[in-house]
Amino acid sequence: MKKSTSAVLIIILLAMLVGIRAFLEPFFYDPLITYFKNESLTKTLPELNLSHYFLNLLLRYALNSIVSLAIIYLIFRNIKTVFFSLKFYVISFLGLCLVLFILLNFEDLANNLLIFYVRRFLIQPLFLFILVFAFYYQKLQNKKIQNQ
Summarised one tens digit per residue, pLDDT across range 128-138 is 999 999 999 99
Q: How confident is the model at residue 18 (pLDDT cuts 50, 70, 90)?
A: very high
CB atoms within 10 A of CB 71: 24
Mean pLDDT in residue range 65-84: 96
Q: How many domains does the chain have?
A: 1
User: In the predicted model, is pLDDT for residue 17 greater than 80?
Assistant: yes
* Structural domain harbouring 126: 3-147
The whole-angstrom distance between residue 96's C-alpha and the CA centroid of its chain comes to: 10
User: In the predicted model, is pLDDT for residue 109 greater than 70?
Assistant: no
- 103 contacts 114 by C-beta, under 8 angstroms: yes
Range with the poorest average pLDDT among 29-38, 84-93, 103-112: 103-112
